[in-house]
Structure 1
Amino acid sequence: MTEPTPRKATLTSSLQKLIRSFGYAFKGIGYAIATQLNFRLHLVAMLAAVMLGFALHISANEWQWIMLCITLVLVAELFNTAIETLTDLASPGYNEKAGRIKDLAAGAVVITALFALINGLIIFLPKFLKLMHHVV
């Protein structure tokens, strides 16, 4: 009869696996930053939105919408990159269906980015107009 694995060893092993999984996740984000121009552009837009949010003193509710938009766009870009990479692996040569898959993934990013843009306009435009009114 085998002895049960000590709880401490199992906990340590689980913690190591968890830490390793975060390492893989950050490696994936690093890959997207290093290789995907659109991901970097979205990061710049994120920084602009955050700076505007602080400068215009947006509410907690507005911050939640901004953070939701940022998260959705970045996640969509990561999924798009993953789908494109997997498609290239499965179909290295030209394939009409592979191209369609890539187009669909890119379309999801565009829809998400438009959602973010519209939300940004809803939140920031009235504040800009109010600021311009006070300046003039």
Structure 2
Amino acid sequence: MKNRPFSTRLGFALAGIRACWRTERSFRTHCFCATFAATALFTIQPAPVWWALTGLAVALVLALELINSAIERLIDHLHPDIHPEIGHVKDMAAGAVLTISLGALVIAASLAVTMA
């Protein structure tokens, strides 16, 4: 299973993104927000550093949402019953997504203030 060609590994990664898109409303919402951010950047044409910061923030939010979704799906598969500790794990993963999303909003607010 290890050391597969890059094209095969890329296919696995894209399949994971497609699965998340199909099954996770939060991921689709974050993708919509990323599209909005890109549109805003093209509209206001800020300095390159803002493109980099926004791109990094978007990538981090989407990556953490993918990880959160993977953790939740794995937990639900391995332990479908409700358990307080499992609930804490899911809440912590969701908290990570919320934290980076708030960081992305700080970047957006900073950009708005700079461009005003």
How does the TM-score come out when normalised to structure 1? Answer: 0.80
Amino acid at match of 1:91: H
Query: How far 1:125 sits from its partner (Å)?
Result: 3.6
Query: How far 1:94 sits from its partner (Å)?
Result: 1.1
Q: In the TM superposition, what are the counterparts of 1:47-86 in structure 2 within 5 Å?
A: 47-86=35-74
- Residue matched to 1:32: 20
Distance between the aligned counterparts of 2:39 and 2:82, measured in 1?
42
- Residue matched to 1:115: 103
Bigger mean CA deviation after superposition, 68-77 or 91-100: 91-100
Query: How far 1:90 sits from its partner (Å)?
Result: 1.7
Distance between the aligned counterparts of 2:100 and 2:8, measured in 1?
30
SS in 1 for 2:45: coil
- Residue matched to 2:76: 88
Output one character per residue of 1:33-91: Cα deviation in whole Å (capped at 9) or x when no partner: 10111100111110111111111011101101000100000001000001101111221
SS in 2 for 1:71: helix
SS in 1 for 2:5: helix
Q: Which has the higher contact order (CA 8 A, sep 6+)?
A: 2
Output one character per residue of 1:103-127: Cα deviation in whole Å (capped at 9) or x when no partner: 0000000001000001111012442
Off by >2 Å, runs of 4+ in structure 1: 124-127
Unaligned runs of 5+ in 2: none
Distance between the aligned counterparts of 1:19 and 1:96, measured in 2?
40
How many residue pairs get aligned? The number is: 114
How does the TM-score come out when normalised to structure 2? Answer: 0.93
Percent of residue pairs identical: 31
Unaligned runs of 5+ in 1: 1-13, 131-136
